[in-house]
A and B are shown apart, each in its own frame.
Chain A
Amino acid sequence: MSSVSTPPELAVRARGLSKWYGGLVAVDGIDLDVPAGRCFGILGPNGAGKTTTMRMICCVSPPTSGMLEVLGQNVLGQNVLGQGVGGDRRAIKRRLGVVPQGETLDHELTVRENLLSFAAYHDLPRHLAAERAGALLAFVQLTDRADDPIDALSGGMQRRLLIARALVADPELVVLDEPTTGLDPQARHLVWERLRRLRSQGKTLLVSTHYMDEAAQLCDRLVIMDRGKIIAEGAPTELIAAHVAPRVVEVHGVDGLLDAVRAAVDGLADEVEQVGDRVLVYGRDGQGIVNRLRAGGPPHQALLLRDATLEDVFLRLTGHELMEAGERAGDG
């Protein structure tokens, strides 16, 4: 499967892109440059505006204002009913593959028929559709389930089928809205592995996620979104280097002892922060911080020394965590 057309340098370009629902702003004037041929992430908590941004890019939600170009074509210029000129949505969607956040498979059809029906919506000739369906079922490791009903598939299999469905017309840009939310660790790794393979085939991937490890694993570049705005942009390592010290010591079981921790690591720590029931100490010399806390810190339950992550970047930039405590417990 290959595209002959030469991709434009940017797969998506947005300037001042906004979306309002009544009096509520979902996306608040964002600028976005998604380079072609890369995996680009939108990282942010639930409600940050990730899905709305992706729906606008997929031409199923007209922007309220701003400029939006997808694969070199203008999306704007339409009212709610899709009337008015500018932007040929059909032409853009022909070159787009979409993996939605929810499960939207056709439950009245079998696994293979799901792919064939989408091939028909893309107006592919029958022999090509059959060929693609076979190849994609192999790609997502569902060949032996080809004639099964959708209800017989596990959550991970359904997600893989959604990915195969998005690829049926050999799109240049694949948009994935939280592709591994709700999957167990093994299923997630299998999805990531397939997505990396797609990127190596030269496809542009646009992935939204609220998992910082997913963003770090997959994305060459990413933006961090919060409350409808983009608050940082860069490669994962760049973002970490730019916003937090490289090492983090998590101090557990020190409720109300923030000042005592701060005093113990004075001079070594760049930053000390209370997050829920933990205190995070950022610095260059992680082991030095650990030694200080062991020798002269307040009584604590546990110390954990680790590298700084995108989660820390998010925390530093927004003052709140990427996921609520309940979500964190739920997804292991």
Chain B
Amino acid sequence: MTAELLRWPRASPRAASRMLLRNATLYRRSWRRNLLPNFFEPLLYLLSLGFGLGLYIGREIGNVEYVRFIAPGLAAAAAMNGAIFEVTYNVFVKLRFAHLYDAVITTPLEPEDVALGELGWAVTRSLIYGMAFLLVMLALGYVQSPWAVAAPVAIALIGLAFATLGMIYTMLIPQIDLFSYFFTLVITPLFLFSGIFFPFENLPAAARWLGWLTPLHHGVELLRSLVLSGAPAAAAGHALWLAGFSALLFPPAVNLFRRRLIV
């Protein structure tokens, strides 16, 4: 059974796009309601910590104004949140309460198509939130490197990493309450300790090593190296890490989804 969960799933991208389109249709109807809160949250952090706290901690981190230092990290967090809410609460409700997927898999769509569609939609939402935040940064003059053109790819990679991770958790829990553990013990610590708010370089080796194991840290460093420092080699390393992480988690995410529906 465990070995089977790691097998590469046979999903049809065309069939998956049908599921994604259903979500996109709904989103188009309610995007004003949805986009604003998700969009303002990182902006508030930017204002509070970047400008507020930034005044007190001295002006610079590694020759960079504090607010410019944290802005790319907050874009990475926005991308993470865009994906994670989709594959946790939204997927859980459709799976367990609405029984929507039970109906969908009686059509030619197979569970792996549906899972791929949901992951694809989660990545799409990452792109919406991440890019919205990057546009604000652009307007504020915080985008300093031409390598920022690769930012959409970076945001999609962050989205995919968290979409697969969240999907696995959603498929394993029996009750919706258990998401609070995931958010309190995984997502919030990642947000606080992934190097968004302080640089990793001066931390003890153990902390740096621990950070290296987490996806958001690589997402933060990836965006920072594209938008702020313009370091393509470092960016490629972080992008590879995220791609590898997603490739590892993608099969169990999809196969667990199938196992929840086909009994």
A interface with B by C-beta (< 8 Å)? 21, 58, 60-62, 79-83, 89-91, 93-94, 96, 98, 100, 102, 104-109, 113, 117-118, 120-123, 165, 169
Q: Cβ of B189: which chain A residues have Cβ within 8 Å of it?
A: none
B255 within 8 Å of A (CB atoms): yes
Considering only CB atoms and an 8 Å cut-off, how many residues of chain B contact the other chain?
34
Q: Does B96 contact A (CB under 8 A)?
A: no
- B8-43 interface bits toward A, Cβ cutoff 8 Å, 1 = contact, 0 = none: 001010110011011001100000000000000000
User: A80-B259, A93-B108 in contact; A120/B99 too (CB < 8 A)?
Assistant: no
Contact with A along B83-113 (1 / 0, CB 8 A): 0000000000000001110111111111110
Q: Which of A82, A96, A113, A122 contacts B112 (CB 8 A)?
A: A82
Q: How far is the CB of B91 from chain A (nearest CB, A)?
A: 13
Q: Is the interface of A mostly helix, strand, loop or mixed?
A: loop
| Among A60, A105, A118, A123, contact of B262 (Cβ-Cβ < 8 Å) | A60
CB distance from A179 to the nearest CB of B (A): 15
Instruction: Mark contacts of B241-257 with chain A using CB atoms, 8 A cut-off: 1 yes-contact digit, 0 otherwise.
Output: 00000000000000100
Q: Which residues of B have CB within 8 Å of A100?
A: 102-103, 106
Inter-chain CA distance A104–B110, complex, in Å, is 17
B263 within 8 A of partner (CB): yes
Whether B224 sits at the interface, judged by CB under 8 Å, is no
Inter-chain contact B7/A82, CB cutoff 8 Å? no
Residues from chain A with a CB closer than 8 A to the CB of B60 are none
Whether A60 touches B261, Cβ cut-off 8 Å, given contacts A118-B107, A120-B18, A123-B18, is yes
Contact assessment for B99 and A102 in the assembled complex, using a CB-CB cutoff below 8 Å: yes
State the main secondary structure of chain B at its contact with A.
Answer: helix
- State in angstroms the CA–CA spacing of A80 and B261 once bound together: 10
When distances are taken between beta carbons in the complex, the residues of chain B under 8 Å from A102 are 99, 102
A-B contact pairs, 25 of them (CB 8 A): A58-B106, A60-B105, A60-B261, A60-B262, A62-B262, A79-B4, A81-B5, A81-B258, A81-B259, A83-B7, A83-B10, A90-B12, A91-B108, A93-B107, A98-B106, A100-B102, A100-B103, A102-B102, A109-B22, A109-B26, A117-B22, A120-B21, A121-B15, A121-B19, A121-B108
Looking at the assembled complex, report how far the CB atom of B20 sits from the nearest CB atom of chain A, in whole angstroms.
11
Instruction: Give A42 to B173 CA distance when docked, in angstroms.
Output: 35
Q: For B108, what are the chain A residues with a Cβ–Cβ distance below 8 Å?
A: 90-91, 93-94, 121-123
Tell me the smallest distance from the CB of B36 to a CB of chain A, in Å. Answer: 19
Taking CB atoms, residues of chain B closer than 8 Å to A109 are 22, 25-26
Nearest opposing residue in chain B for A107, CB measure: B98
Q: In the complex the two chains form, what is the Cα distance from A94 to B109 in whole Å?
A: 9
CB distance from B99 to the nearest CB of A (A): 5
Indicate if the CB atoms of B102 and A106 lie closer than 8 Å: no
Partner of B18, one of A105, A107, A121: A121
Contact partners of A107 in chain B: CB under 8 A? 98
